[in-house]
């Protein structure tokens, strides 16, 4: 079974576990993205850039452009549509 947990550390050094919904690499930006949420029934979703070359995914980077957010929202809509049908 694949571990779908992402551990994120905040500015104060506190660690939190999140559930990875999916990852993808954009042909446009040549960056890899991770889409994740709090475990359980939470509907709040987060996104970040990660380096898929690093064994542990490296340090998460924030999404900085509206174009990237638009792309992520479109990918999330596709993901949700696919998983509602199951």
**Domains of the chain by residue range:** 5-85
In contact, 23 and 33? CB cutoff 8 Å: yes
pTM: 0.84
7-48 tens-digit pLDDT: 888 889 999 999 999 999 999 999 999 999 998 888 899 999
3-class state of residue 84 by DSSP: helix
Mean pLDDT of the chain: 88
Confidence of residue 70 (pLDDT cuts 50, 70, 90): very high
What is the rounded distance in angstroms from the CA atom of residue 83 to the CA atom of residue 78?
9
What is the rounded distance in angstroms from the CA atom of residue 49 to the CA atom of residue 59?
9
Q: To the nearest 10°, report the CA torsion of 85, 7, 9, 14.
A: 110
């Amino acid at each position: 079974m694949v571990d779908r947990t992402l551990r994120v550390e905040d500015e104060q050094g506190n660690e939190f576990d999140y559930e990875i919904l999916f990852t993808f690499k954009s042909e446009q930006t040549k960056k890899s993205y991770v889409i994740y949420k709090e475990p359980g029934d939470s509907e709040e979703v987060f996104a970040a850039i990660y380096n898929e070359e690093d064994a542990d995914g490296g340090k998460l980077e924030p999404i900085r452009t509206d174009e990237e957010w638009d792309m992520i929202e479109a990918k999330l809509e596709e993901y949700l549509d696919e998983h509602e049908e199951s």
